Structures are given as C-alpha cells and as structure tokens.
Structure 1
Amino acid sequence: MIKLFHIFMLVLHFMHHSSSDDSVKSDCVVSPPPCTKSKYRSYDGTCNNLKKPLLGSSNTPYRRLLPANYGDGISSPPLSKSGQPLPLARYISTTVYPDIPLKDPIWTLNTMQWGQIITHDLALLKTTGSDTCCANDNSTKDEKCWPITIPPLDIMSLVSNTKCMSFLRTDTDRDGKCVEGNQPAEQINSVNHFLDLSIVYGISDESHKQLRENKGGRLIVEQRNDQDWPPHDPTNPTCLGKEKKEACYLAGDTRVNQNTQLTLLQVILLREHNRIADVLFKLNPHWDDETIFQEARKILIAQHQHISYYEMLHIFLGKKELVKEKIIYETEGFVNDYDENVDPAVLNEHSHAAFRYFHSLIAGHLKLVLESRLSFSKVRLSSWLNRPSILEEENNFDDLSRGLATQSEYLADAFHTSEITQFLFRGNNTFGKDLKATDIQRNRDHGLARYNDYREYCGLKRAKTFWDLLGSMSPLVVFKLSKIYKNVDDIDLSVGGSLENHAKPAMVGTTFLCIIKKQFYRTRVGDRFWFENGGETGFTLDQLKEIRKSSISRLLCDNSHNVKLMQPRGFEKISLINLPTSCNNLPAVNLTLWKDPVP
C-alpha cells in the first residue's frame, strides 16, 4: 500500500519563514497513507507523526529557515545584488580554502566519519540526468546541468585543459508538477528525514526486503576469510563493469561504497545488527524472524541515536549548549518530550551549508594501525573512492578500524585537503572534482538566502559593509571576501558561515551553530520513536539504561575481526586519561534484558 501511495503521491513545498513554531503547509497529496498502530517504525518514515503521516517521510521536500533566494524568484540560480553572476564557485574554493593540513589535537578521524554516517542517514539529494554533463565548451542542452566553470589560470585548466566540472541541479517539487505558478522550488530528500539507520535498513518496504536473510532476524552477508561482508550489488552504478571479486556492496544506502572509512562503519553497523539478532534468537527461540529483526533494528537505531547525540554531538556544538537547548538531557530516566507539532524534516540550510562545514575535518590519507597503536602504512583517500575492496585485503579492516580511533581528524577551519578539492573521484584522471566548489554551487542551486540574512536571523548584527564582519571573522578573511564579492550581501551562506570565528567550545561559528542546533532539536523532538521516549514504542527503563552504555569504541570492538584493545572514548585521541584497554573492560549492552518473560 505504501509503495503504491509513494508512486502516485504529489509533494507540496513548504514555506517556512520562522523557526519559532515550525509551522508548515499541508502536503500536496490526494490522501495520507493509512496508519496502523505499531511499536516499530516504517522504513520510509510515514506514520511517525500520526496526525500528519507524511511528515518526515522520504521523497518529501527539505524545509527552510528563511525564504528561498532564487534569481527569478522561482528556481534559477541567484544573482549578485548588481544583477550579475556571482563569483565562480571554483575560484572561491581555490582562493579561500587552501590545503594546509592542521591536525586536531583532541579528536580522532572517527568523529568526522560518524558525522558522515549521520549526514547520510538524514538526507540524500535527488538528481536526474547525466553526471557527465560538462562539455569542453562548458555548454549543454540538459536543463539539469549547471557546470562548475574552471577559471583560465586554475591549475586544472593549465595542466589538463579542464574547462568545467559536471554538476547536476537537484530535483524539486516543481519537477514533479506538484506546484505551479510562481511558487519557489523546494528540493526533494530521497530518504526519510529521521535518524533511523535507513543507510542500513533501506528507505522503503521494497528496498529493505532485498537486504533480509529472512532467517533469525538477520541481514544478508557474504562470508570471506572468516568475516561477514555486505552482499555484492551488481545494480549499483558505481559497480557497473566490476567483477564480483572487486567488492561493491549492497546496503540500505546507495553511497555505501563512496569512501573507505564510510564503508567500514557501514560494515560495522551491519555486523552489529546480526550480532544483536543472534543473541536475541538464543534468548527467545520462540520469536519469529520478523520479531527478532525488528527488535534488533530497534536496539541498533537506539545505539546509533545515543552515540550520535550523547557521545559525538557535544564535540561539534558543546555539551552545555546542547543541554541548554534541550537537545540532550542529563537524566537517567525517560525524556518523553515528543511533540507532534515539531516538524522533523531536514533543513536545507543545515544539510547543504552548515553541516558541510565539517568537510574541513577530512584527512587525505588514512592510517593503518597495529594493535600496538603504531601506524605502519597509509592509504590515499582519492585512490580508493568507490573501491571498498581494500577493506578485504589482509588485515586492512582491523588496521583501518584502529586508524579511525587513533588518527587525528583535521581542524575545523577554512583549510581543505587537496584530496577533496583537486582529486575527488578522479579515477584514472589527473584531477577529479572539487567538493568545496560543489558545496558552494549546491548552496546556489538550492537558492539559499544570503549569509547576511542568516547572520541577522541568528542574532548577529547585519553587516552593511565588509568591515562590519570584523567582529566575527579575521581581518585577512574579511579582506579576501571584499576582493571576491562586490557587495557584502552577495556572500554565500556556505562561504560566510564557514569563515566565522568559532563560538567556543563549539567547532563552528555563531551562524552555523544556530542552524545546526535547530536541526538536531527537531530531529529528536519530532521523532515519535526516539529511543528515550517511554511507552509502547520505547524500551523499559532498565533496557534504556543498557542502551546508554553504547559507545563507538564498543561498536568497533564487537564487530572487528581481531581488535582487542580500544580506548574508552573512541572519538577522543589516546592520552593518559584515555588509554587503550581490553575490549572486555568496556561497558556493553546487556541484551539478556530483552529475554521474553513469557515464552
């Protein structure tokens, strides 16, 4: 029923001018899907909100904090205040975001990588068209293609005569003919908007079925070298032309093969589901496959939510700020503050500007680390994009797992590794794509309001001249912006927000902190199935206390092949107060509390 509904449903864009009440207009649909009472979530996010069954479901629009800023007021890319095109995204990338590898002294690469797990769980752009839409003359007939122009004196142009990079505009509700007239276009999120591990379980009833073993509540795996791996996916575009021996995995998310450490964590989560399912099967042999599967899924989602909010998020935003804004609570009991009037949908500004700031944390080379914590080799990031087979070579999975918890992430700053600004997805070519230029172009593609608008929205004084930014940015940064943009009101959100001085102890400036806080509040409070809520959809209090023992360190220990030691706080670097210890010494979730008292 849900499948048929989603095939024929039409989606209405939502105008959101204020974050105070998160009010939105109704969906453009014939009728909402029928909702049956269940203690388990749907895969597509429908019926999480029983009053508004489509709220937060897949294939619905992102929301906005401020109205769109399209050039024509409807869908065309924005223009400068003078009516001229904005500065080239690639020029801004190479001018403002150089490769200066400054390492974070406290936090590990685990932190950055778990951030991508959260990002992929919450959002996926929907694009249609050819990804090779960039011709040498920088022209195309594809209306979805909006190439990123390479300046004449750019190193890509000088060395390889590259004129542009492919860029496809995101699909919107106007493409689906849901809105007419002059209503501004709203981009579509292909996955549901909840933090529910859709990257593991799929985004629909149909997609999740191909992941199920249909026995013992397990997900399908393939065994090689005494280890479990995701099944091969011959239909994934990144797998086309690859032999089965060249690993290309099937998971709940099509981006599973994108980069080595992302894939590693996806494998960890897959194995953790099956580990939990195996224990539940032994505890409750009378349970059928579906019950075991759903209970294991519910537990793993809860672990994911706990690790994300209580172990990782404070690193980005600061713990006091999270408690103050009621994003997390300091309690041993239930939280129970679900609000059906809070829209959980992902904010366009968060997903396509603010949270992308953390691309600066990416390291260009990944360390392989022994049990002694000595690094003996490293892997170049761009050499193994969409090539996860490296994980199955020798002891690489364990060595890279230790590397995640040992290697420093890069500092949250304006500097980006060349692996993502010059060589991203390069394949056999000299150069690849530029992630920072792509972020700026995507900001414009989505018609996000100007940085100055969000600056004012988030409580900072609106800048009338470039020099009014000095309280928020360094003099050098302000000088660069004044040379790139003609008017202070032209500055893109993804640029201005990324250059603000940090609002310590947060790792972001005031504007991005404001946006990200709003997102993670609505993600939690707008989720009826949030793990800290009691009642039929939740856990018993004793079970909840066990869930709160979850940690990234224990997750790596339990699902690697031969990792025996791990520091208690896996997002934090090893130190005298965070020394590696036996995995058996780390707190673990006691699953015996899920034993059915009445077989």
Structure 2
Amino acid sequence: MRSMHIAVLLFNFLYYLSPVYSNCPEAPKCDKGYLYRSFDGTCNNLGYPLYGKPDLTYDRLLKANYDDGISTPYKAKDGGPLTPARTISNKLYPDIPLKDPIWTLILMQYGQIVAHDLSNIKQEGPDNCCTNETSKNPKCFAIEVPFDITDRMSLAGIKCISFIRTTTDRDQGCYTENEPVEQVSDVNSILDLSVTYGNSLAKSQELRTGLGGKLKVENRNEQDWPPRDPTPTKTCFLPNTEEACYLTGDKRGNQNLQLTVLQVAYLREHNRVCDILAELNPHWDDEKLFQEARKICIGQHQYVSYYEMLPIFLGRDNLLNYKIIYDTDDFVDDYDSSVNPAVYNEHANAANRYFHSNIEGYLKLYSDKFRLSYSSVRLSNWFDRPSFLEEGDNFGGLCRGLTTQLESNVDTFHTSEITQYLFKKAKTFGKDMKAADVQRNRDHGFRSYNDYRELCGLKRATKFSDLSGEINELAIILLQKLYKSVDDIELTTGGSVENHVQGALAGPTFVCIMLKQFSKTRLSDRFWFERSGKTGFTLDQLNEIRKASISRLLCDNSPTTDYMQPEGFKYTSIFGNKLQDCNTLPSINYTKWKE
C-alpha cells in the first residue's frame, strides 16, 4: 500500500508540474464539508480532486502495445498483417441462437446501464471513413470486409465498415512525451447513475425542473416520459419527425429499447422518491429534495449492481473473497483515497464487452399476471427510435418481457442484429459490433491475450495446444486459422473463448479483469452507499436501501405491471421465483428519512 501511495504522489507531481501537461484541466477547489457528490466526479477524492472527471484517460492494467511505441496499431508477431476484424467476427462469432437456461434479458440490459455509467469512448472524426477522401484521415481505421462467400455483407458488395479511432490524451494536448497514447472517456468514472443525472452541472440543470426536486418529464397517455431532445436529428433516427427522441443524462439513452426502458424507470423513480420525501419533509426545498432523492436512487443502483447483478456475472464467492461485496448489516468503510477511479481500458473495451453475446435479436412483449407473449419486435428496426415505447402498453409489455424472456447464452455466438444490422437505419445492412470490438482492441493497443493470461495467474502458452483444457478444442482450431502465432491472439478474442469459471459467466481472464475493476470502483468512491458518516446514510436508512431490487424498480415505475417475480434477473417458473403481487415485494420504508 505504501508503494501505491508513492506512485500516486509521483503521478500528481508530474501532472501538475510537468510542462507537457500545459493543456490539462485545472483542479477545482473542493468544499470539504459538502454532503453530496458532484455531477462530474470531481472532489470525490479531496486529495486529487480531478479523479473521476470526464475527458480524462482510462487506466491500464498493462502498458499499451503499439507498432511505433506511440499510437500505430500493432501487427502480427511476424510483422505481417492481422486477419481483418470482420473475418474474425464472421468466423468466431456466428449467429447460433442458444438460450440461457436461468437468466432473463434484463440482466444483460442492466449490465449495459452499468457500462454506460462508468465509461464511454470519446470519438471525433468524419462521419464515414470508407470514402476516398477520408481513407487517409488519421482518425480513421476502417474495417476491411474481404470477399467471402460465407459473409452476407461481402456478398452484398460491402467492402468497408467505417471505424473512427478513439480520442487520446495526445489529441487533447495533455500527455507525457515518448509514452504510448491513452484513450479518453467522456463520462465520469464513478458509479453514480450519471445516465440519469448527467456528467456535468450544466447537464443536470438542463434536466431539472427547479421545483420539488424533480427532473423534467412530459406526460403523454397518462405516463411520464423524458423531455424531448432539442436536437433530435443528431441524437435519434427519426423516419417521422413527430417521433419522440429523449433528452437523458447520457447521450446513448435512446440507443435501444431495453436500455431506454431502464432510463425511463430511473427517471420516474427519482420523481417518485421526491414525492415521498416532500410529503415526509414539507420544509425541504428543491435542492434538498433533489439531492436526497438522487442519493437514494444512486444507493439503489449501486446495491442492485453489486449485490444482485454482479454475483451472477462474476460469482458471489469471488466477490466476497475479493471484498467487492460483504455479508453484513453494518457499514462498510473501505474507502481508499489512493485508488484512482479511472476505469481500466481493458475492462471497458474488452472484458465487459464479452456480454454482448447475451443480446437477443427479437424482444418479446408479455401480458401481466400470466406472462403470455403477445408480440415481438426486431431489435435493429428500433435502434435510436424510442417512440415504440409510447405506443399502447409497449413500455409495460417490454418491462415484463425483459424479466420473462431468457437472454441469449453467454458464449461466442452473437445475434446478427448486432453483427450485420447494427444501427442500419434505412439501409439493408449496418455495422458489426464484434468486428468493432476486435478493431477497438487494436486501436487501443491492448497487449496479447497471453500477457493478460499471465497477469491473471494462468500459464503463458507457447503453442496453441497449451490452451487445451482452458479453451474448447473447436475454438482452438478456429484461433489457429485466424492467428499465425499464439502470441497474436488478442485479448478480446482469447478471453471470449475461455471455459467459464465455476459459478460465473466468463472465463478466468475476463473474470480477473472485471474483479479488479469492480473492486477499484467501490474502493475509490468516497460517497459509496455503504459508507458511514455525514455523507452516508444512517444505518437504518442503509438497511432500507438494501431492500432495493430490479423487480421493485420496474414494479414501481411501470403503471400497467402488477405482478413480478422477487428475483427479476432470474427466470420464473412453477418450481420457484413465482410471480407475485408487486405490493408484496420488499420495499424501502422512507419514514427513515423523516426529519
């Protein structure tokens, strides 16, 4: 721990004094007595107030690997080109529809909310990197689509998929000379429900009414919806200009229907909590009501993320052993001011993206009490088009669908809705998320899969056969066809074909990386919901927060949903986790907040 403190002090000395950092942001002055967290993550760490801020770089588990040592994407070990990312996607991640036997689609979707809360690559470049004019633009790193009779894009005559490189510290003029570039995230790196409240004070003010602590809504068909985005054509795909396009705390809030369901649910939850607190404490002003409701909603979000979602993805025993969760009714005061909350690049842009395999291509809508499917909707028809939710009872039907429909199995198989038709808009084909994941691996200069194996305690492979037992034989054969050397295997691909750790939904390398990340996220947060003291909850309030659940969140914010299973991430059946009246599910007793 002493060496970690020294490293942090050295970093800050260089950050503030080195002339290389002349274009870096200035640290704000912090009010040490202020009880609530900022919107942009600053002043969470009083010693290093810039920690957590948007537009700063990701952290790294291993130093970047670039061909020129600075930013040029690496080549194969023998100096030749790597297999095109589109070919890897087409061969390694085909569309074979296998269902998870236990977990519902809302599990995948909550994972995306957490991912969006913690990071987002910043990109600045041309709209299309596949033209003669843009092909040599330094911000472009287009994905080649080689001719292949097994590739539907290739057969349609598509030869290129646009891809923009992530903005780096060099682009922003805040970097260390002769060091590899580091990519920038444009959201704060705190798990603080910034998808609802925004990543800046200005954004939060744009979202607030200024009355009763509430966030802005528009009421249509007796339901509250996020306000309209003032620049809808920049945010959404709108075949009809009358369609809704929402203004949310995160610019990705309209990206897909399931995501928008949770964006709407947390918006409604905030305002619902405001009404309760206002009745209990009529003397509280707008600011007090807003901040207390925000604090409660963030507490619920952190609890559901860590105690309900992560045990499924990473294994409860792993989380307990790694001290990411605790079996206690008491406070947990494990804040560590030496930990920088900056998200690991390898987590955000490789390991965590493994769960794209959970995505379902068609979303089912279900009735309430008896959970009968009555409709379905194709995912790619509604990218960046949230207006579907306002038609009839589609919002309620999808809330019930997300907690009833099984997610796709966690494996290498991916729906073609994201590998052929992603953001296709009015076109026949769109982008390829898995090809983009592989290309991003190269853009960000991640070291080889072998290097991360070693980091995570696995034996380094010297030949493909050394992977036997940890990766199934068919996957090894595919890797041999796609990579000339075992050292060419990339983190994104190698981690995705590992056999899963017992009790978890990923292999040992990705589990290792994600455990490191989620430990870092809680340790670095001075306002973490389990902390004691003036910035925290009382113990009675904390144990009320611990009653939160994904099921209760949807019950309370879907007016046409009256029944839900206690464990919303888990499939309901006659053998257990049965549907029950929403009013019988555990709920927070808000009288603990009465002054």
The TM-score by the shorter chain falls in which range?
A: over 0.9
Instruction: Establish whether residue 44 from structure 1 lines up as the match of residue 30 from structure 2.
Output: no
CA distance in 1, matches of 2:378, 2:5: 45
Residue 239 of structure 1, CA deviation: 3.4
Check conservation: 2:238, 2:385, Cα contact below 8 A.
no
Instruction: Establish whether residue 352 from structure 1 lines up as the match of residue 349 from structure 2.
Output: yes
TM-score by length of 1: 0.94
Instruction: Establish whether residue 32 from structure 1 lines up as the match of residue 27 from structure 2.
Output: yes
CA distance in 2, matches of 1:108, 1:74: 43
Aligned twin of 1:432: 430
Aligned twin of 1:176: 172
Deviations 1:190-243 (A, max 9, x none): 011010011000111111111001000000000000000000003251337666
Deviations 1:255-296 (A, max 9, x none): 000000000110000000000011111111111100100000
Residue 483 of structure 1, CA deviation: 1.3
For residue 75 of structure 1, give the secondary structure of its aligned residue in structure 2: coil
Check conservation: 1:138, 1:164, Cα contact below 8 A.
no
CA distance in 2, matches of 1:377, 1:277: 35
Deviates more, 1:348-357 or 1:75-84: 75-84
For residue 100 of structure 2, give the secondary structure of its aligned residue in structure 1: strand
CA distance in 2, matches of 1:243, 1:423: 20
Instruction: Establish whether residue 495 from structure 1 lines up as the match of residue 493 from structure 2.
Output: yes
For residue 328 of structure 1, give the secondary structure of its aligned residue in structure 2: coil
Aligned twin of 2:185: 189
Q: Judging changes above 3 Å, is the alpha-carbon distance between structure 1 residues 19 and 312 closer, same or farther for their aligned structure 2 residues?
A: farther
CA distance in 1, matches of 2:253, 2:7: 32
Aligned residue identity for 1:387: R
Check conservation: 2:499, 2:507, Cα contact below 8 A.
yes
Aligned residue identity for 2:141: W
Aligned residue identity for 1:150: V
CA distance in 1, matches of 2:135, 2:207: 38
Instruction: Establish whether residue 97 from structure 1 lines up as the match of residue 83 from structure 2.
Output: no
For residue 83 of structure 2, give the secondary structure of its aligned residue in structure 1: coil
Give the 5 Å matches for 1:205-354.
Answer: 205-236=201-232, 237-239=234-236, 245-354=242-351
CA distance in 2, matches of 1:171, 1:558: 40
Instruction: Establish whether residue 455 from structure 1 lines up as the match of residue 441 from structure 2.
Output: no
Check conservation: 1:355, 1:516, Cα contact below 8 A.
yes
Residue 158 of structure 1, CA deviation: 4.1
Match of 2:196 among 194, 197, 200: 200
Deviates more, 1:225-234 or 1:138-147: 138-147
CA distance in 2, matches of 1:476, 1:573: 30
Q: Judging changes above 3 Å, is the alpha-carbon distance between structure 1 residues 167 and 222 closer, same or farther for their aligned structure 2 residues?
A: same
CA distance in 2, matches of 1:244, 1:146: 33
Q: Judging changes above 3 Å, is the alpha-carbon distance between structure 1 residues 19 and 339 closer, same or farther for their aligned structure 2 residues?
A: closer
Give the 5 Å matches for 1:361-510.
Answer: 361-371=358-368, 372-510=370-508
Match of 2:510 among 509, 512, 515: 512
Residue 177 of structure 1, CA deviation: 1.4
Aligned residue identity for 1:35: C
Check conservation: 2:358, 2:409, Cα contact below 8 A.
yes
For residue 223 of structure 1, give the secondary structure of its aligned residue in structure 2: strand
Aligned twin of 2:546: 548
Aligned length in residues: 578
Deviates more, 1:137-146 or 1:64-73: 137-146
Residue 429 of structure 1, CA deviation: 1.3
For residue 25 of structure 1, give the secondary structure of its aligned residue in structure 2: helix
Deviates more, 1:396-405 or 1:82-91: 82-91
Deviates more, 1:172-181 or 1:479-488: 172-181
Percent of matched pairs sharing the same residue: 57
For residue 379 of structure 1, give the secondary structure of its aligned residue in structure 2: strand
Structure 1 stretches of at least 4 aligned residues deviating more than 3 Å after TM superposition: 18-24, 27-31, 156-159, 239-244
For residue 169 of structure 2, give the secondary structure of its aligned residue in structure 1: coil
CA distance in 2, matches of 1:19, 1:412: 36
Q: Judging changes above 3 Å, is the alpha-carbon distance between structure 1 residues 180 and 326 closer, same or farther for their aligned structure 2 residues?
A: closer
Check conservation: 1:69, 1:78, Cα contact below 8 A.
yes
Aligned residue identity for 1:115: G
Residue 395 of structure 1, CA deviation: 0.6
Residue 40 of structure 1, CA deviation: 0.4
Give the 5 Å matches for 1:553-568.
Answer: 553-568=551-566
Instruction: Establish whether residue 525 from structure 1 lines up as the match of residue 523 from structure 2.
Output: yes
CA distance in 2, matches of 1:146, 1:170: 10
Aligned twin of 1:10: none
Aligned twin of 2:141: 146
Aligned twin of 1:67: 63
Q: Judging changes above 3 Å, is the alpha-carbon distance between structure 1 residues 117 and 21 closer, same or farther for their aligned structure 2 residues?
A: farther
Match of 1:80 among 60, 76, 79: 76
Residue 131 of structure 1, CA deviation: 2.7
Deviates more, 1:540-549 or 1:125-134: 125-134
Q: Judging changes above 3 Å, is the alpha-carbon distance between structure 1 residues 273 and 586 closer, same or farther for their aligned structure 2 residues?
A: same
